[in-house]
Each structure stands twice: as structure tokens, then as C-alpha cells.
Structure 1
Amino acid sequence: MPERVVVTDGVELCVESFGDPADPPVLLVMGAGASMLWWEEGFCELLAGGGRFVIRYDHRDTGRSVTYEPGRPGYTGADLVGDAARVLDAHGIPAAHVVGVSAGGAFAQLLALDAADRVLSLVLISTSRAVPGGGELPPPTGEFTRFVSTAHVDWSDADSVVDHLVAYARVLAGGRRPFEEAAVRGLVRRDVERARDFAAARNHDLLEGGGLSGASPSSIAVPTLVIHGTADPMFPLRHGEALAEQVPGARLLVLEGAGHGVERADWATVVAAVLDHTAPGGGAG
């Protein structure tokens, strides 16, 4: 279906779906500060072509969902977790397979811990444990840290924002594969032009955590697949390994040379893994 804005619990969220609503539902949860466009249309169509009803949506303060004044988010991290359930409510879906990348993977974990009846299975990509504990994990790479600490961007200038986000995407890619700058620049440009107020996406950096206390990934009770790249500069591979070790029965899929996120070069591998995990008799069967 074409993208549309739904209102659930008074919250405006922009959603888009692919495939047959009668197929098993797969909810895609993007990372912080990123709209649903980063779940690229081709990726969604591949999943839908495998017999899944695929839903992607804009977080608050991204894309065409409700937007707040930059620097003054009117919500918490727990609200972003709850928005995943709100999207399911808007589609009349009691529970779905939930696929989260980066912070979206943390949101997915917290949803499974706080509302297990809404989650059929989890796929956690380029993410880490939603709740600290269970041993030390390596920090981001030096290149990532230097970029974040020295980047300069004029958030009132679309061209400056696009240049910054393309440079950031290059760092996130990890440097072990050719960087598809033209494709990334086109995606970033569409994202910036589509947003109600792109500067508001920075509100995600100001949020408190997911709002759960005492929870741990070891309490996740749904089938879980962890997917992680060996070149992830934000969450080095050990984060994915530790997450897979902590979630009972979780499986780990390592993507050689992949950075942070879902890269086009890995679409076929990731889609096949998600379809297998969410199939009857598969990882979530």
C-alpha cells in the first residue's frame, strides 16, 4: 500500500506496507534518527516476494510522522518502543515478526521484554544489548569516534545536511567494501526532502532509555536471529556475538566485510535468513 499517516493513541505515524496482509507479518524498525526510507523499497519487496506482509514506518521526528520542536522532544525512548505496537494496532495485527537495526534492534528487544505477546520472533541487526550488563564490550572504532566528535553541519542548510549524512554513511559502511556514494546520496537527499523537519531527527539523541528496569536480553523468550557485520564501526562484532550468547537459543549470522546497517550487497543473504527464521518450522517455527 502507498504510505499513509495513521493516528493511534493520538500519535501520528507514517506507515507503508508491502505484500499480502494474509501473509505472516514482518515489522521493520529502523535505528535512531532514521526514517523508514533506510529500509529500502527493494529490500522490502524482496521480503514481500518471499510471502511476508512487510510494514515499515517513520519514527517520531523522522519522515512524515509527528514532529516536535528541535531540542524539545515531547516523548521518551519508551514511547518509541511503544510506537512499534501502535503500528501493529493500526494494521489490526496482534503480533508480528520484528526486525530491528541499530537502535531499532534495541527497541525490538525492549518490545519483546515489555510486550512479549506482540512479538512472534526477533531479528536483530547491527545492534547491541538493550540493557547494560553481562561483561564489557568494545567501544566504537577510532574513525567512528573521530567523525562524531569533529563533524560540522549546518542543520538549516539541506546541502550541508546531505553532505554530512553521506560522510556519516561512509564511516558506518566500515571501509572494507566499495562505498556506493551515488546511491547513498540519492537516498539521503530523498530523506531530507521528505521530512517535515529534518533537524528534529536530532531529538533522538536527547532521549532517555527504553523505560524498562531490571530487564535483560536473557529474559527474551521468542526465537531470535542476530545478524552482524565484521566491519561494524559503531558496534564491533563482539556486540552481536555477546547478544547472541545472552538471548536463550539465539542464532548468529556474521556478514563478512559488512558495516553498520543493511547494505545492498547483503540483501539476498539477509532476506533469505529472515524468510527462513520466520517460516513455519524455521527459527521461529
Structure 2
Amino acid sequence: MPSPFPPLLGRLDCRVFGQGRPLVLLHGIQGTAEAWLPVAQRLADTHRCVLPNLPGRAASPRWRTADDGPIERYYHLDHYAGLLHELLQAIGQPVVLAGWSMGVSVILRMAALQGIDTVERLVLVSGTMRAGPPEATWFHAADIDALRSEARQRAERLGLTQVADAEAVAWSWQSARGLDLAAGAARIACPTRVVHGETDDQCPLAHGRALAAAITGAQWLALPGVGHNVLGAEPARLAAAITAENPR
């Protein structure tokens, strides 16, 4: 379904379905909005689910020419944060916001740059305040060409069918790697739940604990036997975590 929001956001492809309170679900670095479907489908009876695809994903736009600005800025966390902020403003009412993996990074960056006043409740899944070596390393290559290749190989290895463009993945990782997102965490004042799989090998458990500790009053939920893909492994439990009225 095309985005129902103003033309400013028409450039983003959004999956929108369900009835009720607005719920925005933000995907990770290599996935698309489809990653959230197992969770969103459980919440559609009570929530208007909005699943945006960031640039380079699904039917959202791609960087084409210099008229779009520098490619490294187009696929940068700061650009994504601005787009997310615009989306929340366009919805025009308080929202529940959840992000997974890089989606957490985008939310933290938005909190630092634009604030998070329109969010009434926040759920941060499999996230970190600092992605990159030595622990939270989603990709290992150093340069863009090698990162593109690694992204393609990873998608094939994992059997992913709905994936971000390798170009978008490479530049997104370049912007996220080593970026300190603690300032964004410090600005969050709304009720927040931090959810993390105990066996996450992409973003170790300690990173989730640190994120929860950095957000005033955040509730911590660790999932035994679950890795990085909480969305696929525990959709029912994650849906319950999102709908809890008072994460604190």
C-alpha cells in the first residue's frame, strides 16, 4: 500500500495496515519493512501499523546522481533520522515507536538531532549505542567495494529474499560504524523497553544492557536462547512487549 502521508514522505515506501493507535516499526541495516511483518500482523487489530522502508530498500528511492547530494550522506544515519522525524510529524499524533538493530541506531540519532517528543512509548530491539569492532560488527570489510560484496554474500548465505541494496547497506554501515549514539539515549524520557536476545552474536547482550542503563527508567527484557533476529524468533513475545502499557 502506498504511503498515505504528505508528498514530502511520498518518496518513502511504507507498508500501512491495521486500525487503532499508530505504531511505527523500523527495520535493520540489510532488511526491509517485511522483517517486521510477523510482529505487525499480531498487532493490526489494535494498531495502525506503519512500516517504512528507508532509502535503498523495497520501493523507496535510490541515490541516482549528484543532484541527490553526496551518496555517503544519502545513505547516512543522519538522513534516515530526518526521514523518520518527518514521518512522525506527518502522522500528527503520539506514536508507539519500535526499532530493530540499525533501526535502533536511527532512533537514537533522531533523538539526538531532532528530539523524540512525538513518541509516547519506545521499544528498542537488538540495538547498541556503538556499532562496530570489536563486538557489534555486522560487516567486516573496510572499503565500500568490499562492503558491497560482503553484503551480497551475506544475503545469499542467509537466504534473504527481501533485502536492502548492497550499495545502501555499504554506505549505511560506513555511517553507523563507530558512531557514538549515547547522546541520543540520554535524551529519551518516554517509557522505554529494551529487548535483546541473550545469544545475539551480531550485537552482544552487554550492548543491550548498556543501552537500557543509559535511558532513564528503561525496562530491560532479555530473551534466553534468542539471537539477533528477535523479530523472527519471538514475534509473539515481542508483540506483547510492544503493547505493554507501562514499560517502566
Query: For this structure pair, what is the TM-score category when the shorter chain's length is used for normalisation?
Result: 0.7 to 0.9
Aligned to 1:97: 96
- For the Cα contact (< 8 Å) 1:106–1:129, is it kept in 2? yes
CA distance in 2, matches of 1:138, 1:204: 16
Aligned to 1:165: 155
Aligned to 1:217: 185
> What are the equivalent positions in structure 2 for 1:1-285 lying under 5 Å apart?
2-4=1-3, 8-9=7-8, 12-20=11-19, 23-39=20-36, 41-49=37-45, 51-69=46-64, 72-75=71-74, 76-90=76-90, 92-113=91-112, 114-129=114-129, 139-140=134-135, 148-149=140-141, 161=152, 164-167=154-157, 169=158, 185=159, 188-189=160-161, 191=162, 199-207=167-175, 215-276=183-244, 279=245, 282-283=246-247
Deviation at 1:117, TM superposition (A): 1.7
Partner AA of 2:106 in structure 1: F
- For the Cα contact (< 8 Å) 1:110–1:212, is it kept in 2? no
- For the Cα contact (< 8 Å) 1:33–1:204, is it kept in 2? no
What is the aligned residue count?
239
Call closer, same or farther: CA 1:45–1:217 in 2, change over 3 Å: same
- For the Cα contact (< 8 Å) 2:35–2:231, is it kept in 1? no
CA distance in 1, matches of 2:204, 2:148: 29
What do residues 140-194 of structure 1 show as CA deviations (whole Å, max 9, x unaligned)?
A: 28xx78x7459x98969xxx93x63142x4xxxxxxxxxxxxxxx3xx22x25xx
Deviation at 1:242, TM superposition (A): 1.1
- For the Cα contact (< 8 Å) 1:8–1:86, is it kept in 2? no
Pairwise CA RMSD of aligned residues?
Answer: 3.6
- For the Cα contact (< 8 Å) 1:19–1:54, is it kept in 2? yes
Name the TM-score, length of structure 1 as normaliser. Answer: 0.70
Task: Structure 1 unaligned segments of length 5 or more: list them.
Answer: 170-184
CA distance in 2, matches of 1:214, 1:268: 29
Call closer, same or farther: CA 1:199–1:214 in 2, change over 3 Å: closer
Deviation at 1:198, TM superposition (A): 5.2
Name the TM-score, length of structure 2 as normaliser. Answer: 0.80
Partner AA of 2:115 in structure 1: A
Deviation at 1:267, TM superposition (A): 0.9
Q: Indicate the SS of the match to 1:116.
A: coil
Seq. identity, %: 25
Call closer, same or farther: CA 1:27–1:263 in 2, change over 3 Å: closer
Deviation at 1:5, TM superposition (A): 8.2
Q: Indicate the SS of the match to 2:129.
A: coil
CA distance in 1, matches of 2:107, 2:247: 17
CA distance in 1, matches of 2:181, 2:194: 23
Tell which structure's C-alpha radius of gyration is larger: 1
Call closer, same or farther: CA 1:129–1:208 in 2, change over 3 Å: closer
- For the Cα contact (< 8 Å) 1:125–1:228, is it kept in 2? yes
Deviation at 1:44, TM superposition (A): 1.1
What do residues 1-29 of structure 1 show as CA deviations (whole Å, max 9, x unaligned)?
A: x2448664477100111211xx2211111
Call closer, same or farther: CA 1:265–1:9 in 2, change over 3 Å: closer
- For the Cα contact (< 8 Å) 2:111–2:184, is it kept in 1? no
- For the Cα contact (< 8 Å) 2:14–2:53, is it kept in 1? yes
Q: Indicate the SS of the match to 1:97.
A: strand
Call closer, same or farther: CA 1:207–1:126 in 2, change over 3 Å: same
Partner AA of 2:213 in structure 1: E
